[in-house]
Amino acid sequence: MSYLSDGDNDRIDLVINTGVIPKLIELLEHPYISILIPCLRTLGNIVTGEDRQTTEVLKAGALNKFFGLLSHEKRSVRREACWTLSNITAGNAQQIAHVV
């Protein structure tokens, strides 16, 4: 999914339209890094898209999981979480307010 979502807004829409966002968010609590990182990267790719695409991730409750990942023991997880939050804060005022 991370490779499929890495591209233009049309590709991101294809991923969103599968309905996978809630499952990706659920898997952010997975104990295996080999599962966690690709899910985190996929969500990060989605929020690089248009505001409406970022809103889909926010509406699904992703922020509740992201803040916990900021204190994860693995640096790579913390880095991906920061990158995703950074992409969200590049959005509109409402999206920025959600993060703040």
pTM for this predicted structure: 0.93
- 9-99: what CATH class? mainly alpha
Q: What is the DSSP letter of 69?
A: H
- Residue 67: the pLDDT is 85
Residues of the chain with confidence (pLDDT) below 70: none
* pLDDT at site 58: 96
> Domain map of the chain by residue range?
9-99
Sequence-separated (6 or more) residues with CB below 8 Å from residue 56 = 16, 21, 46
pLDDT above 70 covers what percent of the chain? 100
